[in-house]
Amino acid sequence: MKNEPIIQIGESFDAFSLSKLAEKSFRGAFAKLNDKENFERYVARSFTEKQIRSEILDSASTFFIANLNDEWVGYAKLNQGVPPDCVNQIPSIELARLYSMQEYLGCGIGPALMKACINYAREKDFKSIWLSSWKKNSRGNAFYTKMRFQIIGNATFTLGSDIQDDYIFAKSII
């Protein structure tokens, strides 16, 4: 019988461990698909303990950490802000990040984190959840489609000097 991940809310005292999890899971997902210099510059800026702590302390952000057998194996971040114009069901909250450690892909970490994010969003009276995902992120895009998100638009994401094309996905949660 498979163990189910336990989902906890990230707190400021989790910043160091969460920064390590965030960097490692991001590297696992995207290091091989990006220019090394651009990638390393982005990672060095985005996943420091100081940066993650400031994101945790931001009242517009909420982190969820997946714990399986006393090991952190994935995380998600919701962000309250102004959604892109293509998001029609308002209010909407952004799923800014959702990552699992590579060795735990297919173990239910993503669906458990997604469920926690959607439950939180419903409790806060959001009508939809939206996200941006790199068009080259075929595994992630397949996951979002499986979770019944629909592509509603396009965006760009800058990783160093690389301008990347993203899909914007959204899902009604009412």
| Count of CB atoms situated within 10 Å of the CB of 127 | 16
What is the DSSP-derived secondary structure letter of residue 31? G
How much is the pTM? 0.94
User: pLDDT per residue over 80-119, tens digit each?
Assistant: 999 999 999 999 999 999 999 999 998 999 999 999 999 9
Residue 1 has pLDDT above 50, yes or no: no
- CA–CA gap between residue 106 and residue 7 (Å, rounded): 17
Q: What is the pLDDT of residue 162?
A: 87
Domains contained in the chain, CATH given: 6-172 (3.40.630.30)
User: pLDDT per residue over 144-168, tens digit each?
Assistant: 999 999 999 999 998 888 899 999 9
Q: Compute φ and ψ for 147, nearest 5 degrees.
A: -80, 10
Percent of the chain beyond pLDDT 70? Answer: 99
* pLDDT, average across residues 41-65: 97
Q: What is the pLDDT of residue 2?
A: 65
**3 falls in which pLDDT band (50, 70, 90)?**
confident
Percent of the chain beyond pLDDT 90? Answer: 94
**129 falls in which pLDDT band (50, 70, 90)?**
very high
Residue 128 has pLDDT above 60, yes or no: yes
